[in-house]
A and B are shown apart, each in its own frame.
Chain A
Amino acid sequence: DQQVKQNSPSLSVQEGRISILNCDYTNSMFDYFLWYKKYPAEGPTFLISISSIKDKNEDGRFTVFLNKSAKHLSLHIVPSQPGDSAVYFCAASPYSSNTGNQFYFGTGTSLTVIP
């Protein structure tokens, strides 16, 4: 049951240009969305998040956009740098007030930034 989908397994972008990574979800109960970055041989590292009450969150070169009606979110990286080359996972979570909350992950998009 693929509740979070990343339909592009890979993306190549020239250094300095914008990288756009997309993510779709099916569960309308999801209220919190995150992007994780993963380098080989390392665990996922938190990058940026957005809650469902917002449609945009920005942190430096990274911006996440949320379109709730389309159940779609995207991560924009601008300008892209070679060090951004990694696998990017989209994750989503339903509202849960006090319990340890599970995240649902997409399959990841491998970003390559070409110098």
Chain B
Amino acid sequence: EPEVTQTPSHQVTQMGQEVILRCVPISNHLYFYWYRQILGQKVEFLVSFYNNEISEKSEIFDDQFSVERPDGSNFTLKIRSTKLEDSAMYFCASTEQGGWIDTQYFGPGTRLTVL
């Protein structure tokens, strides 16, 4: 069964460093998402992406964050200058279509630890 994959599974970085989290969505999916979950808290939407541009983003997704689909398979989340509060699980998700009833399929997540 097709699945969303994410690398790395765990990323440790120093505060102020840039990190890039990588995702490979399901191959025929067209809409891509990033969510994060701070330990013990809810899963929070960060951004959705379609046709090489951001379609929706939350207030969490400030200028420190950016997303890119550099080729036909990868979808990346970049945090330019990490802060301690960026420590969280980051989940990538994708859907075949963007309609509101379309189920989002999640990857296993990348645990980001900012020291």
List residues of A whose CB falls within 8 A of some B CB.
2, 4, 31-32, 34, 36, 41-46, 49, 51, 89, 91, 93-108
How many chain B residues have a CB neighbour from A under 8 Å?
32
Q: Is the interface of B mostly helix, strand, loop or mixed?
A: strand
- Among A31, A51, A98, A106, point to the contact of B42 (Cβ < 8 A): A106
How many inter-chain residue pairs (CB < 8 Å) link A and B? 82
Q: Which residues of chain B have a CB within 8 Å of any CB of chain A? A: 4, 6, 31-33, 35, 41-45, 48-50, 55-56, 58, 91, 93, 95, 98-109
Q: CA of A34 to CA of B93 in the docked complex: distance in angstroms?
A: 15
Enumerate the 6 nearest inter-chain pairs by beta-carbon distance, A residue then B residue, closest first. A100-B48, A43-B106, A102-B45, A105-B43, A100-B31, A107-B42
**In contact, A100 and B103 (Cβ under 8 angstroms):** no
Query: Within 8 Å CB of B4, what residues of A?
Result: 43
Cα–Cα distance between A51 and B95 once the two chains are bound (Å): 17
